[in-house]
Amino acid sequence: MAALGFNLIAAMVIFTAFWVVTTSKLIHAAVALMGTLFGVAGLYVYLYADFLAATQVIIYVGGILVLIIFGVMLTHRVSGIDTLQTNMPNRPAAAVVVFLLFMGLTALLFRTPWHMADAAPVVSTVEIIGAALLTRYLLHFEVASVLLLVALLGAAYLARREDG
Partner 1 sequence: MDSLQSYLFISIVLFCLGLYGVMTRRNGVAILMGVELILNAANINFVAFNRFGGMTQALPGHIFALFVIVMAAAEAAVALAIIINLYKTFSTVNVDEAHELQG
**Site residues for partner 1, window 76-115 (CB under 8 A)?**
85-88, 90-91, 94-95, 97-99, 101-102, 105-106, 109-110, 114
Is 57 among the residues that bind partner 1 (CB under 8 A)? no
Closest to 132 measured CA to CA, from 60, 53, 55, 51: 51
Q: How far is the CA of 99 from the CAs of 24, 68, 159, in angstroms?
A: 21, 27, 37
Closest CA to 51 of 61, 60, 36, 41: 41
Interacting residues with partner 1 between 121 and 160 (CB under 8 A)? 121-122, 125, 128-129, 132-133, 137, 140, 144, 147-148, 151-152, 154-159
Per CB under 8 A, does 10 bind partner 1? yes
Could you say which DSSP state residue 121 is in? P
Q: Which of 31, 35, 49, 54 binds partner 1 (CB under 8 A)?
A: 49
Q: Is 1 in the site for partner 1 (CB under 8 A)?
A: no
Name every residue whose Cβ is closer than 8 Å to that of residue 50 and which is 6 or more positions away in sequence: 44, 124, 125, 126
Q: Is 8 in the site for partner 1 (CB under 8 A)?
A: no
The answer to whether residue 47 forms part of the interface with partner 1 (CB under 8 A) is: yes
